[in-house]
Amino acid sequence: MTRLYADPARFGEDQLRGFAAAYPEHITLVPGGVIRSAPPRHGQVAVVVGGGSGHYPAFSGLVGSGLAAGAVVGNIFTSPSSRQAESVARAADTGGGVLFCFGNYAGDRMNFGMAQARLRDAGIDTRTVLVTDDVASAPAERRGERRGIAGDFTVFKVAGAAAEEGLALDDVEAAARRANDATYSFGIAFAGCTMPGADAPLFTVPDGKMAIGLGIHGEPGVEDADLADAPTVAKILVDRLLAERPATAGRRVAAVLNGLGATKYEELFLLWGHIARALTGAGLTVVRPEVGELVTSLDMAACSLTLMWLDDDLERWWCAPADAPGFRRLPAPETPTAPRALPDAVPGTPIVQGDAASREAAETVLTLLRGVRAALHDAAAELGRVDAVAGDGDHGRGMTKGVDAAVRAAEDAHHRGAGARCLLSAAADAWADEAGGTSGVLWGVGLRALAQHLGDTGPVDAARAAAGARAALDAVTSLGGAKPGDKTLVDALVPLVDTFTAAIDRGDDAVAAFGRAAAEAQAAAEATAGLTPRLGRARPLAERSIGTPDAGALSLALCARTSADLLAESPR
C-alpha cells in the first residue's frame, strides 16, 4: 500500500515536486508537468506524453533526450486537465509542432483533445496518437477501443527517437502510429495496489488464483485462473500474443517484460528466461528486451509482456539511445567478435584412490551421508518453521541442498575408488559450494577438517575419528567465531565433540560413545531455546527467538543422532 505522503489529495503534485528536485539537470517543472531542462533543437517535434501519476517511470520519468519532450502529470490514476496538457505542450514546443501520445482512456482523450483544439487555435500544429496495446481489453476487430498499458513505452520510445532524428510532425506521427499498430501487450495480476489514503487495495485476487488480463489503474483482470508456476505463466503470455501476430510481421521483435510494482526484478528475470526460450522456439529474434518496471501501478503485484513487431525503421528507433531519469539506453556495447576468453574453472577435488580398508570406511561414510540426507529431507519443513521464528525460514532448504550435493559428490568419489578422506573431502566441498550461506561454509569446513583425519589408507579407528571430531570443532569455531551460548550450531557441536573425545580418551567403545555424544548434542540443541542470539542481529530478532531452539543446532544434532543410529545398526 501507499504510505508515504502528507495530503492524499495532493499526492500527484507533491511527488512531482520531489521528482523535479531529484533530477534538476534532466527535467524542469512547468505548470501541469515537466519538460526537458536542456531544450531540444529548435524545430524538433515535441512528443508530449502523459496521464495520471502512479505509473512511474511513466510518464514524467520518460522525459529526456531520445524520448519525450514533456510529460503532463495528473493526480494518481487521474487524467491531467486540458489546461495542464495545453501548458506543457506550449512549454515543450520549439516550433516543430506537438505530438500528444498517451494511453487510450476516456478522461485522457477528452482532456488532451480539448488541449489539442486550443493549441491548434493558437497556431501550434498538434496531433494525437493513442496507445491501444492491451489485447485483453477489447477483441482484435475493435482494436481502437483497446486500452494502453505497457505498450505506452514502446510507442513513446519510437516517437521520441523519430523526433530526435529530426523528422517532421507528419512523419513522427506516422512513426508513432506504426509503433502502436505493431505493439501488443497482455498481463497477469496477483494483487491490487492501495491508493494513498485508502486502507484497502483496489481489488484482491482470491487465494490460489491469478487474474488474467490486467489493467494499470487497479483494474482487476478479465478472468481468474489457477495460480501457476513461472513456465506456465510464460506460456500464457507468449501464446496470447503470438495468437495476434500480425500477418505482415517479420521475425524480429522488441519485448518489454514489465513489472507493475511488487512483482520484482528476480521474479521477472526468472520469468523472462522462460519467455525468451518460448519466443526463440517460435523462430523469433528478440531485440534489446527490457525486463523491469516501465509502466507501474503503484505497488500492484502483476506483470505484463509487450511485443512490438519490428521493421527496419522501428528497430532503429527502438535501439536508439535515450537519456531520461527513468530510462537510459546507451548504444549497445560492441558485440565481441568472439565470446570472452575465460580461465579454466576452479579445479574440483582431485580423487585419491583408497586402499581396501579406506574404501570400506568410505562406504560407511557414504551410508551415513545417505541416512543424514533422508533425515534432513524428513525434517526440512520443521527446520524451516523453527528458523522462520528468528531468521529467513530457509534453514531446512539450505541443509537439504547441501546434503544432496554432498551425497552426489560422495557417490561419484566412491564410484571412482576414493578413500575415506578423499570421499568426505569431496562431499564437504560440494556441500559448501551448493548450499552457500553461513551454514554451508561451516558444514563444509567442519566436514573437510574431519576428513583430513580419516586417511585414504587403513581403517578409520577411534583415534582418527576423535582427532577428526576435534579438528572439525576447531575449524568451525575458528571460522565462524561463535562461542557456546551464542545460540548457534556450536552449542550442539561442543557437547557432541567433548563427550565423544572424552569417551575415546577413556578407551570406551567408539560407536556407543558416539551414540551418547549425539544424545548430549540433542539435549544441548533443545536447550538453546533458553538462549538469546549473540550480538549482531537486530534486537527484536533476538527477543523473538527466546523460547525457540536454534535451527542450526537442531539440524546438527539430528545429523549426529542419525549417524549414531546407523553406526549402531551396522556390522562392526
> What is the b/e burial string over 504-529, where b = at least 16 CB atoms within 10 angstroms of the residue's CB?
beeeeebbebbbebbbbbbebbeebb
Footprint (CB under 8 A) of a copy of itself, residues 469-488 = 479-481
Edge-to-edge order in the sheet of strand 33-36: 27-30, 33-36, 70-76, 46-53, 98-103, 126-131
How would you classify the pairing of strands 46-53 and 27-30?
A: unpaired
Site for a copy of itself in 3-32 (CB under 8 A): 3-6, 8-9, 11, 14-19, 21-22, 25-26, 28, 30-31
Judged by CB under 8 A, which of 140, 243, 270, 356 binds a copy of itself?
Answer: 270
Instruction: Choose one: 225-233, 410-418, 459-467, 495-503; the region binding a copy of itself (CB under 8 A).
Output: 225-233
Q: What's the one-letter identity of residue 507? A: G
* Ranges within 271-300 binding a copy of itself (CB under 8 A): 271-274, 276, 289, 291, 296, 298-299
Tell me, yes or no, if 217 is annotated catalytic. Answer: yes
C-alpha to C-alpha distances, 99 to 27, 43, 95, 162, 170, nearest whole angstrom: 19, 13, 12, 11, 9
SS3 (DSSP) at 72:
strand
Q: Is 198 in the site for a copy of itself (CB under 8 A)?
A: yes
Residue of 174, 227, 357, 519 interacting with a copy of itself (CB under 8 A): 227
Cα–Cα distance measured from residue 85 to residue 527, given in angstroms and rounded to the nearest whole number = 68
The grid coordinates of residue 476 equal 568451525
Q: Which of 62, 70, 86, 454 binds a copy of itself (CB under 8 A)?
A: 86
Burial of 72 (0-12, 13-18, 19+ CB in 10 A): buried
3-state secondary structure of 140: helix
Q: Is 262 in the site for a copy of itself (CB under 8 A)?
A: yes
**Is residue 261 within 8 Å of residue 193, measured between CB atoms?**
yes
Q: 26, 217, 395, 414: which one is catalytic?
A: 217
Q: Rule CB under 8 A: is residue 151 a binding residue for a copy of itself?
A: no
Q: Which of residues 54-83 bind a copy of itself (CB under 8 A)?
A: 54, 56-57, 61, 65, 74-83
Site for a copy of itself in 546-565 (CB under 8 A): none
C-beta closer to a copy of itself: residue 5 or 367: 5
Binding segment toward a copy of itself, per CB under 8 A, in 48-56, 239-247, 512-520, 525-533: 48-56
**151 φ/ψ angles, rounded to the nearest 5 degrees:** -60, -20
Q: Does 110 bind a copy of itself (CB under 8 A)?
A: yes
Of 288 and 416, nearer to a copy of itself (C-beta) is 288
Helix spans in 74-122 (H): 82-92, 106-121
Does residue number 239 form part of the binding site for a copy of itself (CB under 8 A)?
no
What number of chain residues touch a copy of itself (CB under 8 A)? 151
Q: Does 330 bind a copy of itself (CB under 8 A)?
A: yes
Task: Pick out residues in 360-419 that bind a copy of itself (CB under 8 A).
Answer: 388, 392-394, 397-398, 400-401
Indicate whether 540 belongs to the interface with a copy of itself (CB under 8 A): yes
Binding window for a copy of itself (CB under 8 A); candidates: 156-164, 452-460, 509-517, 531-539: 531-539
| Beta carbon of residue 514, minimum distance to a copy of itself (angstroms, whole number) | 27
If the CB atoms of residues 62 and 518 are measured against a copy of itself, the closer one turns out to be 62
d(CA 344, CA 335): 23
Which residues in 264-303 are b (16+ Cβ under 10 Å) and which e?
A: eeeebeebbebbbebbeeeebebbebbbbbbbbbbbbbbb
Instruction: Residue count of the chain, please give it.
Output: 572
Least Cβ distance, residue 110 to a copy of itself (angstroms): 5
Q: Which residue, 358 or 545, is less far from a copy of itself as judged by CB?
A: 545
330 CB-contact burial (10 Å; exposed 0-12 / middle 13-18 / buried 19+)? exposed
The answer to the question of residue 317 lying near a copy of itself (CB under 8 A) is: no
Q: b/e per residue, 360-370, with b = 16+ CB within 10 A? A: ebbebbbbbbb
**Given its phi and psi angles, is residue 308 left (phi above 0), alpha (psi -120 to 50 degrees) or beta?**
beta
Site string for a copy of itself, 490-529 (x = CB under 8 A): ----------------------------------------
Site for a copy of itself in 429-448 (CB under 8 A): 429, 432-438, 440-442, 444-445
Strands (E) across 301-367 are located at 301-309, 322-324, 327-329
Catalytic residue ranges: 217
